[in-house]
Structure 1
Amino acid sequence: MLPVVAIVGRPNVGKSTLFNRLLGERQAIVHDISGVTRDRHYGESFWNDRDFTVIDTGGYLPGQSDAIVSGIRAQAEIAIREADVIVFVTDVQKGISREDDTVADLLRRQDKPVILAANKSDNSEKALDAPEFYKLGFNDLFPVSALSGSGTGELLDRLVELFPDKESVESEEKWPKISIIGRPNVGKSSLINALLKDERCIVTDIAGTTRDSINSRLEYEGKTYTLIDTAGLRKRSRVHDNIEFYSMIRTEKSIRECDVAVILVDASRGFEVQDVRLLRIAEQFNKGMIIALNKWDLVKKETNTAKEFIDAIYQKVPNLKYVPVITISATNKLRIHRIIDECRIVLDEREKKIPTSRLNQFLKEITAERPLPFKRGRQLSIKYITQVKHKPPVFSFFMNMPRELPANYRRYIENKLREQFGFKGVPVTMVFKEK
C-alpha cells in the first residue's frame, strides 16, 4: 500500500487548498464558507521519488451533535486512523483556537507522526507568528501558504522523510497480490478461509462484516501470493454509514494496487449491475481479472446451466469476453483452487512480452486479411508495432492519421491480437501515434 497522508484541522483553515497544492491539481472544492468538504477526498501525489496517497477531510468540530458535523468528525477520525503521517493545518492569521487545542489533544493520543502546517503565512511578517503553534505540542512546524505554494516544498521534504522505509515496503510486496472483491455477503471471507484452511477472517451471514482490507499470505504449489479480502462494495446511493464509505474507498484502493482482481459473484442472485461496475474499475486500472461464480451448489442445474450463465455475463460485458469465468463453492471447497490456478495463468499473461519482429509479421497478416480503410482520400497505413510495456501490456502503433482509425478496426486489431498471442484475463492497451 502507498503511504497515506491525512490533512486535518478545524474548518476554514485551508485544508482543501493545501490538498490541491500537494496534488498539483484542483480536486477538492475550495470555498471560504466552513463545512464545504464533508467527505474525505483521496488523491495521489509524488515527491522525492515517493508516491503517496493524500486524504482531505472536512473541518473537525468537536462536541457538536448536528448530524452533518458528527459525520464530518467521524470521517476525519477514520482518516487519522488510516494515515501514516498526519498534517495538522492551522491558521496563522487567527492564532490558536479552542478547536485547535481539541484537535491537537486528539492527535497527541495517536502513535503517528504529526506535521503542523501554519497556513496563510503569505509573507515573512505573517510567518513570524507561526512559532506560537509550538504550544500545541508538535516538533515539526512549517509556515506555509497553500494558496501561493510558499513553504510547501519544505513540508513535502519532511513528509517523505517520515514515510515507512521504501525498501521494507517493497520487500513486503514482492509476492503477486490477488484481491478478492465483490458485493457484500457474496462469500469473500469464506473463500479466503477455505484457501488458507484456517479462520484468518471472521465469517458471518451479516453483510458488511469485513470493514477493511485484510492481507494474508498463501503458499500454493511452490509459489507465494498475497490474498486481499476486501469489504463488500455497495452502490454509492446506499452508502450512508461513514465506515462503509471508508470500506468502499479501501475496496477501490485494493483494486488499484493488486495484480489480479477476483470478482466474486453470488451465483444464486445472478450477475448484477454492481458486479459490472467492479469489472469496469479493474479494467480501468489495467488489472488482471477473473470472475468466480460462488455458491454454485445453490444453483438449480440443467444440461447447459453453466454455459448459459457465462453467456449471459458476456452479453452484459461483450468487450470483456477475454475474462475467464469459473464456478466454485467456498463453503463446500468446490473447485476453489482453480482460482489460484487461473490467477497464475493471468499473472503470466500480464508479464508476456512479444518480440517486435513477431508483432510486425502479425501486422502484415491482419492488414492483408482486412485492409485498412480510406479516409479523406488516403488509405490509412500502420507502419509498425512495438510492445512498449508489460505488466500490464501496452502496444504502440505508428501510422498516418491515427485519429482517423475507426473504432471497429481498433476492435478488430485487439481481437486478432488476443487470438494470436492470448492475454487471457488481461486488458490490453493500444496507443496509436502519428509516424
Structure 2
Amino acid sequence: MERVCPLCPADISPASEGNQRVLTITMTLPVIAIVGRPNVGKSTLFNRIAGSRIAIVSETPGTTRDRVSVDAEWFGRRFMLIDTAGIEDQPSAEVQLWDEVRVQTERAIETADAVILLVDSADGVTASDFDAADLLRRAQKPYALAANKTDNTTRMAELYTFAALGMGEAIPISAYHDIGITELMDTVLAHVDDRFEDDTPDDVIRVAIAGRPNVGKSAIFNALTGEERSIVSPVPGTTRDTVDAVYEYKDNHMMFLDTAGLRRRGKTEQGIEKFSAIRTIGAIERSDVTVIVLDATEFVTAQDTHIGGFAQDAYKAGVVVVNKWDLRGEVDTTFEEAVVEIRDRFKFIPDAPMLFTSALTGRGIRAIPDAVRRTFSQFIKRVDEAELSRTLYAALGDRPLPAKGRRRPRISGIEQVSVRPPTFVITCKNPESLHFSYKRYLENRLRESFGFKGSPIRMFYRGGN
C-alpha cells in the first residue's frame, strides 16, 4: 500500500485552500423490504427479484459477502431491495426466537417505502404471521401480502385462510418456480414513487466515506469540505435520503456520499448489524472511491474488514484512512506495525493508499483528496493495446502454461473492454481448465506493469482460439 508518514507537520484543511461548493444533488432511491418469519423463502424471492445483480462472489477468505440489499431494477423502475433473512443463516438457527426476527422486521418496515409481507402457503397461517402483520399495520406503510410456495391446486385452494391476517387478498407466488412475481411487483411498485434522479456531472469523482460509528467520518467530512456536517432529507420522516454536495478541489469535482447510519446496535446479532449497514452499502455502490476510515485507538476490527468487503464486492477503488492517530498510544502501536497489520487485513484491496490522520487537529487531512485523485486515476486507467499484449506474452513466456493434456488451456490474446474498474477479456481455449493460481498470476503481472494501485481489476476468460 502507499502510505503517508504521520510524522509530517500538521496539515490544514483542504477547505481553507479554496474548496468551493458548486452544486447540491438530491438522490433518493425508493426502498422495498421483504419481511416475514424465518424459512418462508425471503432470500429466494430476493434473489428472484434481484436477478444476476446479486451474484457477486469472492475467493478471498475472512470477509463477509452476505448482501442484505441491492440496487435493483424492474422493467425500468429502480429501487433498493432489502432482504431481512440474514438471521436465518446463523448457527443454531433452530433455536432462534421470533423476538430476534421481530427486531429486523421493525427496522425493515421503518426504512422501507413499501413492504412485501411473505407467508408460506405450505404451513398456513401461524402466530408469527399475525405478529408480522400487526407490526406492518401499526407502521401504516404500503404493502403487498404474498403467499409463497403456492405451486399446486391444493395450496391455491387454501389461500383464503390468509384473510384472517386482515391484510387483504394474498397474491399467490412461487419464488423458486418464478410464478406470480410479475403480479407481485406490479402491486408493490404501484405504491412507490419513481422519484430517483441523478443529475451528477460526468466528471465528478464520487467518494464514499465509510466506517464504523465514532471513527471520525463526519469530522473528516467537515474538515475536507469546510462546513459542519448536515444530513438533509427532502422527505419528512425518512432516514435513508441524503443530500450529496459536490466540491471543487484543485480543478477536480468531488462528491462526498453520506454513509451515516452504519451502526452496531450494542451486542446485536450479525443479521441486524448487516441490516443497519444498508445506507453504507448503497453509498459504496454509488461511489467511485471508498474511503475506509479506521480508528487508531481500536485499530482493525472485523467490522472494518466487512466494510472493505462491501467495497470489494462492488468493485470500487479504496483508500484506507487511520484516523485519531494522535491517540495511538492507547493501543501501543508503532507506525511500521500499523502499516504491516493494515496491509495484511486489507490485502483484498491491493496497494490501496494508506493515510494516518487526525481530524481533530487537521493533521494528514490534506492528503486525502490527493489520494482519492490518484486512486481514481487508476480506477479509470486505460492501457495501450500494444503494451497490454506485450505484457501478456511476456507473462506467458516467463511461466508457460502446461504443455500436456487433452483439455489444456491456450491463451491467444487480451483486450481491455471498459474502465470503472479496468476490465479485461482474455481469449483462451479451454478456459475452464485454467487454474485459479494462474489467473492470479496474470492479474499480478498486469498490476506490476500498469499499477492499478487501490483499484480492483476484473478479468474474464472467453473461450476461443
| Same structural fold, with TM-score higher than 0.5 when normalized by the shorter chain | yes
Which ranges of structure 1 fall in alignment gaps of 5 or more residues? Answer: 28-39, 60-66, 203-210
Write out per-residue CA displacement over residues 86-111 of structure 1, whole angstroms, 9 at most, x where no aligned residue.
Answer: 12446889999998787666545546
> For 2:268 and 2:336, how far apart are their aligned partners in 1?
34
Amino acid at match of 1:42: V
Among 226, 231, 239, the alignment partner of 2:256 is 226
Amino acid at match of 1:178: V
Indicate the residue corresponding to 2:362 in structure 1: 333
Indicate the residue corresponding to 2:183 in structure 1: 154
Write out per-residue CA displacement over residues 302-351 of structure 1, whole angstroms, 9 at most, x where no aligned residue.
Answer: xx964553244334555644211112111112232422222233223222
Q: 1:268 to 1:193 in 2, by over 3 A?
A: same
Amino acid at match of 1:313: I
What are the residue-to-residue correspondences of 1:389-428 with 2, within 5 Å? 389-405=418-434, 409-428=438-457
Larger deviation: 370-379 or 259-268? Answer: 370-379
Kept in 1, the 8 Å contact 2:209–2:291? The answer is yes
What are the residue-to-residue correspondences of 1:345-384 with 2, within 5 Å? 345-368=374-397, 370-376=398-404, 381-384=410-413
> For 2:103 and 2:277, how far apart are their aligned partners in 1?
15
SS state of the match for residue 7, structure 1?
Answer: strand
SS state of the match for residue 426, structure 1?
Answer: coil
What are the residue-to-residue correspondences of 1:71-150 with 2, within 5 Å? 71-89=100-118, 106-107=135-136, 110=139, 112-117=141-146, 120=150, 123=153, 136=166, 143-146=171-174, 149-150=178-179
SS state of the match for residue 374, structure 1?
Answer: coil
Q: 1:284 to 1:4 in 2, by over 3 A?
A: same
Larger deviation: 385-394 or 41-50? Answer: 41-50
Write out per-residue CA displacement over residues 375-427 of structure 1, whole angstroms, 9 at most, x where no aligned residue.
Answer: 42799653110112321222111134445545555444333322332322101
> For 1:93 and 1:151, how far apart are their aligned partners in 2?
16
TM-score between both structures, scaled by the size of structure 1: 0.72
SS state of the match for residue 226, structure 1?
Answer: strand
- Structure with more relative contact order (C-alpha pairs < 8 Å, separation 6 or more): 2
TM-fit CA distance, 1:42: 3.4
Number of equivalenced pairs:
399
Among 162, 171, 182, the alignment partner of 2:199 is 171
Kept in 2, the 8 Å contact 1:13–1:90? The answer is yes
Q: 1:127 to 1:337 in 2, by over 3 A?
A: farther
TM-fit CA distance, 1:287: 1.2
Kept in 1, the 8 Å contact 2:206–2:254? The answer is no
Kept in 2, the 8 Å contact 1:293–1:325? The answer is yes
SS state of the match for residue 416, structure 1?
Answer: helix
Kept in 1, the 8 Å contact 2:84–2:104? The answer is no
Which ranges of structure 2 fall in alignment gaps of 5 or more residues? Answer: 1-27, 55-65, 88-95, 232-238
> For 1:159 and 1:362, how far apart are their aligned partners in 2?
51
Kept in 2, the 8 Å contact 1:92–1:129? The answer is yes
SS state of the match for residue 333, structure 1?
Answer: coil
Kept in 2, the 8 Å contact 1:183–1:233? The answer is yes
> For 1:159 and 1:282, how far apart are their aligned partners in 2?
30
Kept in 2, the 8 Å contact 1:372–1:381? The answer is no
Kept in 2, the 8 Å contact 1:214–1:230? The answer is no
Kept in 2, the 8 Å contact 1:177–1:228? The answer is no
> For 1:18 and 1:294, how far apart are their aligned partners in 2?
40
SS state of the match for residue 171, structure 1?
Answer: coil
SS state of the match for residue 199, structure 2?
Answer: helix
Among 42, 61, 70, the alignment partner of 2:68 is 42
Q: 1:233 to 1:310 in 2, by over 3 A?
A: farther
Q: 1:331 to 1:390 in 2, by over 3 A?
A: same
Amino acid at match of 1:47: W
Q: CA RMSD in A?
A: 4.6
> For 1:18 and 1:280, how far apart are their aligned partners in 2?
24
> For 1:412 and 1:263, how far apart are their aligned partners in 2?
27
> For 1:41 and 1:271, how far apart are their aligned partners in 2?
22
TM-fit CA distance, 1:83: 1.4
> For 2:134 and 2:33, how far apart are their aligned partners in 1?
16
SS state of the match for residue 198, structure 2?
Answer: helix
